[in-house]
Each structure stands twice: as C-alpha cells, then as structure tokens.
Amino acid sequence: MEPLILVRFVHFAATLVAGGTIWFALLLPPVAAALERRLRLLTLTALGVAIVSGAAWLLLLAADILGTSLAEALRGLWPVVTDTRFGQVSLVRLAFAVALALLVLRRRADPVQGLLALGLIALPALTGHAGAKPGAAGYGTVAADMLHLTAAGAWLGGLPAFALLLASEAKGKDVAQVTRRYGRVALCAVAALALSGLVNAWSLLSGPRDLIDTDYGRLLSLKLALFATMLAVAAVNRFHLTSALPATRARRALIRTTLSETILGLGVVFVVAILGTTPPSGHAHPNVSSIPADSSFVHIHTAEAMADVTIDPGRIGRATVTIRLWREDMTELPARAVRFALDPPTNEARLTSEHVAVREPDGYWRVGDVALTQEGAWTVRVIVTPREGSTIVLDAPVAIAR
C-alpha cells in the first residue's frame, strides 16, 4: 500500500481527534480532574501524532516532487515549504498545533484553543481537490470543503472524548446533559456534512454514473455507505439511548455504539486518505465560449483512456482533426484502429459524419477532411479499438465558431 495513503490517514484521524476533543471539552460542565486529565492527554497525544505524521507527509511529498530519496528530500525541503501552497499551509498548521499543545498543557479548553483547532482542521481544504479548482468556482468548493472538515471534526473528532466521558465516574445527570448537547452538535454536523458533500461531489464528479463507473466514484460510494451506517448507529443513540440516560445500562450501551461509530468513522477517514490520491472523475470540459479563436481543442478523460482532440480550424468549413490517445498514466494508448465521429448541434442523425483516422509516425491519429457545416456545440466521438481490451468510446462537446 502506498505510504502516502497511510500517512494521510493517520494525519487526518489525529487532526480530527485533536480538534474534536477540544471542542467536546467546551461542552462540559466542571468535571472531575481525572476526566479532564484524560481528555488533555488524548488531545496532546493526537497533536503529537498529527505533527509527526504531518512532517512525514511533507517529506514524502518533497521526495516525490524533487524526484529524490527521502534523505535528499530533507535537504531540499525548505523551498518546497516556502514555494508551494501545501508547504505554506503545512507551516501555518504546524504553528497552530504547537501553540495548541502549549496551551492545552497549561489550561483547560477555552475559545482560543477552539479557534486554533478550527485552523488546524479546516486549512487542509486549501490544498485538496477543491483547493486546486481554478478561478471563482474554486472559492465555493474550498468553502464547502472547510465546512465539511469542520463538521467532521465536531462529530467524528469528538467521539473518543465522548466515550471517555461515558466510561468515567462523571455524574449521571451531567452525562445526560452533555450527551444531549453533543447530540445537537452531531445533528448540525450531519446536515453540514451532507450539504457540503453534495457541493463537492457536484464539482468533482461528471455525473451520478461516475459513482459506479469510475475508481473515484466507487470510493466515494464506499464513503457514503460508511457514512450512512454511522448515521444509523447515531440515530439509535439519539432516539433510543439518550432518552434512557442516566440509567447505567443505557450509558454502557452508548459506549458500545460510540465505539462502533468511531470505527466506522476511521473507515471513512481511510477512504478519504485514498480519495485524495485518486484523480477526480469529473473532468471539467472547457466552457464553450472560451475556445481559442482558430483551433478547437478538447481533452476527454475517462477511467479507461484520455484523448486530446484538435480541430483545425475550429470554424465552419473544412478542417483537419488530430487525435492523441493516452492511458491515464500518461503513456500512449496503443490502438489498432480509431474512428472519429462528429455529431452536429441540431441532433439530426443524418448529418453525423464518421471517419477513419490514420495513425501518423509521430503517434497522432489524423483525419484529413472533415466538413463543419454549422457553428455551435458539436459532439466529438472518438471510437478506439485498442490492441487489448474492448472498444472505448470517448465523447465530449466542442465549440465550432462561425
């Protein structure tokens, strides 16, 4: 298994627990010193793990960017920290984590710690898939991602602390009160997770079919399934057990269900660790109005193959079409035959033209003489018969000018 996935998993889990425990502690009335000590120990341990795993992540990344061994990457680390967004965000988060650790050592949870925890948890949104979305659309997805992370910290991150409370000597009525408060937090968190999750899925997937067809989509489906299971367990907590508190049996049952939720939550975080290393399946095709004046170009990307299609010139008349085929790992896709079809904007079947492409020595497939009879959004279809495997059809809209 890819070491980066393991490091990301550990880092996310530790960050959520560190922040979530602080936020949970803010819900507590004055409690016994023993419980408070345990919560602070949990926070400090989580912070320590977050710092170490965060540093490991940065080092692995530097080695990957610079193309060197880990030892050499250590020497070349500083430019990566200062010259990449990931490095800069990591530095800020490290400062927050250290400041938080110092504060947690000296005093119980307070709003300042809560704010530092927020920075620690939410800032990674700037360097995820949402953060890499260019332009104004990126602001929306980053905001959604930050909300997503915060909600995860508030709910998932607080589960271990909640279990500690239940297992402690704390008075029954205090436990009942905190459970109700935490339940309300969890409810808001679930709504926020669902809403922000929808926003992100809409921007990262090309459509609902991706959930079955693509690697990224399938992982997302797994994440959703785990989340739904967590919801079911949480619902049992809320409607069944919470009202039975402060009875001891209910309290013990709640510990068990909380531990189940925690395990499921860790599963979700693990899937997220994998998702971040998988390309999102929705490949944003260029806006029809922003194609360059002369040639029309479109890049088509599916899990099986990618095609770069250039139509030169991209306006009414006769044009030459050049197609470059790739596999997802950027190597050329060897094909026995390639056909190229163009569907006009008006959707009249008889105006569709299909051509046989010829492979040139430079690896391009060329179609010599294609008639473009109208302006508008045509659909290109590249039908590839690969050397191995079944036929692949790649399609996408392309703008043809007047």
Partner 1 sequence: MPWYRTLIAIVFAGVLWAPAAVLAHAHLDRAMPAAGSTLKEPLKEVVLWFTEAVEPKFSSIEVRDAKGAAVHEGQANGVSGNTAQLRVGLKSLTPGTYTVKWRVLSVDTHRSQGDFTFRIAP
19 binds partner 1 (CB under 8 A): no
Return the CA Rg of the chain.
Answer: 26
Cβ 187 vs Cβ 155: under 8 Å = no
Dist CA 165 CA 174 (whole Å): 10
Residue numbers 201-230 binding partner 1 by CB under 8 A:
215, 222, 226
CB of 5 to partner 1, least distance (A): 6
Q: Which is nearer to partner 1, 168 or 320 (CB)?
A: 320
Q: Residue 363: left (phi > 0), alpha (psi -120 to 50), or beta?
A: left
Q: 297: how many CB neighbours lie within 10 A of its CB?
A: 16
Provide the residue count of the chain: 402
DSSP-assigned letters across all residues of 314-371: -BSEEEEEEEEEE-TTSSB--EEEEEEEEE-TT--GGG-EEEE-EE-TTS-EEEEEEE
Residue numbers 27-46 binding partner 1 by CB under 8 A:
none
Q: Residue 382: left (phi > 0), alpha (psi -120 to 50), or beta?
A: beta
Q: Which is nearer to partner 1, 32 or 70 (CB)?
A: 70
2 binds partner 1 (CB under 8 A): yes
Q: Which is nearer to partner 1, 99 or 253 (CB)?
A: 253
First-to-last CA distance in the chain?
Answer: 52
270 binds partner 1 (CB under 8 A): yes
Binder to partner 1 among 18, 61, 97, 109 (CB under 8 A)? 61
Binder to partner 1 among 72, 110, 294, 354 (CB under 8 A)? 294
64 binds partner 1 (CB under 8 A): yes
Q: Which is nearer to partner 1, 37 or 256 (CB)?
A: 256
Dist CA 211 CA 152 (whole Å): 22
397 binds partner 1 (CB under 8 A): no
Stretch that binds partner 1, among 150-158, 169-177, 257-265, 369-377 (CB under 8 A): 257-265
Binder to partner 1 among 48, 114, 119, 267 (CB under 8 A)? 267
Cβ 35 vs Cβ 157: under 8 Å = no
Binder to partner 1 among 26, 59, 68, 84 (CB under 8 A)? 84
283 binds partner 1 (CB under 8 A): yes
- Looking up tokens 């909300």, which residue turns up? 147
Residue numbers 326-345 binding partner 1 by CB under 8 A:
326, 328-330
Which residues, in sequence order, are CB contacts of 79 under 8 Å at separation 6+? Answer: none
CB of 125 to partner 1, least distance (A): 11
Strands 317-326, 306-312: pairing kind: antiparallel
Cβ 201 vs Cβ 159: under 8 Å = no
Binder to partner 1 among 203, 310, 342, 383 (CB under 8 A)? 310
CB of 296 to partner 1, least distance (A): 8
DSSP state of 128: S
Q: Is 282 helix (H, G, I), strand (E, B) or coil?
A: coil
Dist CA 206 CA 211 (whole Å): 10
393 binds partner 1 (CB under 8 A): no
Mark 112-141 with x for binding to partner 1 (rule: CB under 8 A) and - for no binding.
---------------xxx-xxxxx--x---
The rounded Cα 270 to chain-centroid distance in angstroms is 11
Q: Which is nearer to partner 1, 84 or 177 (CB)?
A: 84
11 binds partner 1 (CB under 8 A): no
Chain contacts with partner 1 (rule: CB under 8 A): 1-2, 4-5, 61, 64-65, 79-80, 83-86, 127-129, 131-135, 138, 215, 222, 226, 256, 259-260, 263-264, 266-267, 270-271, 274, 276-280, 283-284, 286, 290-292, 294-297, 299, 301, 306, 308, 310, 312, 322, 324, 326, 328-330, 362, 364
